[in-house]
A and B are shown apart, each in its own frame.
Chain A
């Protein structure tokens, strides 16, 4: 009967059977077989009954202990397998994410290369521009200065030897020369805006006050008035902002309607991240079809006889505002007046 203990081997092998409870089923089958054989052997050996009962009990104890062991071991394995499965799943998603990242990285490096290309192109264009500036400043200026110098000499030494027509011709030459000198100087100054700039807090109230004082004589001559009140502080380059306000105000004084004293109003409105300034005049105004033209360099809408100028003022203004990260635009009505709006960053 102790042979029934060998069923323990069956139980141990049931480890290999699939299913969590396979060992239990095997154990039940083995138990039944053991009991059945014990019942059958009763008839064969009555004297050995006591012993065989003991054997059955021992076999069953061994059998079920094996079952317990198998179950414990197997359940440990199952949970291990589960975490293994989860780990595998996680590593698969991780791998996918890594792949995605890799693709994104490739895209990024492609973009970076594109940006670098654009940047070097820009640098090249900038260099070209600088070369152009130096040509404008020196190479064009040199012969122009000679023309100016020589017409000055003629004016100084031979003016009285010329007849009226000759004098007139000489005056045209001198006038055109000094105008061209101014244009080239303006062009050079224009290209210089933005070089070597530092950003400070600028008090616009103070700035406009100083400009108004500078315009004092001009204002009195035309009986003009400049109105401004509690203008805010902004972040910017003081020199450039001065040119900006100065140009807009002097435009207002220059492009006045005849018989109407110019009144210029400077105001500011707070917006989310910036201030919106407005320089409003009561001058001749601009037709809507010319709104875009006026901010272009050397663009003029009037003949020199009507209004003198280089056609640089508003181009300066646009460049300065854009350098400060702002926008400039106009709102105007012919024969009523113009309002120049521009935005500047708050002092925060």
Chain B
């Protein structure tokens, strides 16, 4: 990662498990109270949010996308394929961070071969890991 992104306005959480989204939202809220956090329960809704489609019109552009891998219907891998075809504007101002389970090292191997994936985060997300991702990719005060 050479160029840092100017501002972090929004974080998108994509996970079919409601409790995980709930937990990650609280973790991030505690660290950054006025940050816009959007949690969606499916990869498809994640794409809708990114493209301001459907129920998600007029949305801020997410700076970090925390993406779960194992989801029904459209998996994290499927999402990445679609995401790859999106415009450069979206790619330039967002960091995709894959949420892997430490129990499945094969996933991490696979993720390393996908260029748009910039980070791998073991579930659950911790404040330390959140700040590590922010420091790595964003200029902030």
Contacts and interface: CB of A to CB of B under 8 A. Distances in A.
B52 interface: no
Nearest to B104: A137
Contacts of A205: none
A301 interface: no
Contacts of A184: 103
B23 A185 contact: no
B20 interface: yes
Contacts of B102: 185
A171 B9 CA distance: 37
B103 A146 contact: no
B100 to A, nearest CB: 11
Contacts of B17: 142, 146
A137 B19 contact: no
A28 interface: no
A188 B107 CA distance: 14
B26 A148 contact: no
B122 to A, nearest CB: 10
Nearest to B69: A138
Contact of B101 (A137, A148, A149, A150): A137
Given A138-B101, A138-B103, A145 B124 contact: yes
Contacts of B26: 153
A141 B19 contact: no
B123 interface: yes
Interface in A123-172: 137-138, 141-142, 145-146, 148-150, 152-153
A203 B26 CA distance: 51
B13 to A, nearest CB: 13
Contacts of B101: 137-138, 141, 145
A138 B19 CA distance: 15
Contacts of B23: 146, 149-150, 153
A148 B103 contact: no
Contacts of A146: 17, 19-20, 23
Which of A137, A141, A149, A153 has most chain B Cβ within 10 Å? A149
A149 B103 CA distance: 16
Contacts of A153: 23, 26
A147 to B, nearest CB: 9
Contacts of A141: 101, 103
Contacts of A138: 70, 101, 103-104
Interface residues on A, range: 10 to 19
Tell me which of B26, B101, B102, B103 has the highest count of chain A C-beta atoms within 10 A of its own C-beta: B103
Nearest to B23: A149
A305 B120 CA distance: 37
Contacts of A185: 102-103
B33 to A, nearest CB: 14
A149 B104 contact: no
A5 to B, nearest CB: 107
Given A138-B70, A150-B19, A153-B26, A145 B123 contact: yes
B22 to A, nearest CB: 9
A188 B123 CA distance: 17
Interface in B3-34: 17, 19-20, 23, 26
A337 to B, nearest CB: 36
B70 A149 contact: no
Nearest to A136: B103
A142 B23 CA distance: 13
Contacts of B103: 137-138, 141, 184-185, 188
A188 B23 CA distance: 25
A103 to B, nearest CB: 49
Nearest to A147: B19
A141 B20 CA distance: 12
A271 to B, nearest CB: 37
A156 to B, nearest CB: 8
29 contacts: A137-B103, A137-B104, A138-B70, A138-B101, A138-B103, A141-B101, A141-B103, A142-B17, A145-B20, A145-B101, A145-B123, A145-B124, A146-B19, A146-B20, A146-B23, A148-B124, A149-B19, A149-B20, A149-B23, A149-B124, A150-B19, A150-B23, A152-B124, A153-B23, A153-B26, A184-B103, A185-B102, A185-B103, A188-B103
Given A142-B17, A145-B101, A148-B124, 11 more contacts: A137-B104, A138-B70, A138-B103, A138-B104, A145-B123, A146-B23, A149-B23, A150-B19, A150-B23, A152-B124, A153-B26
User: 5 closest Cβ contacts across the A-B interface?
Assistant: A146-B19, A149-B23, A137-B103, A149-B124, A188-B103
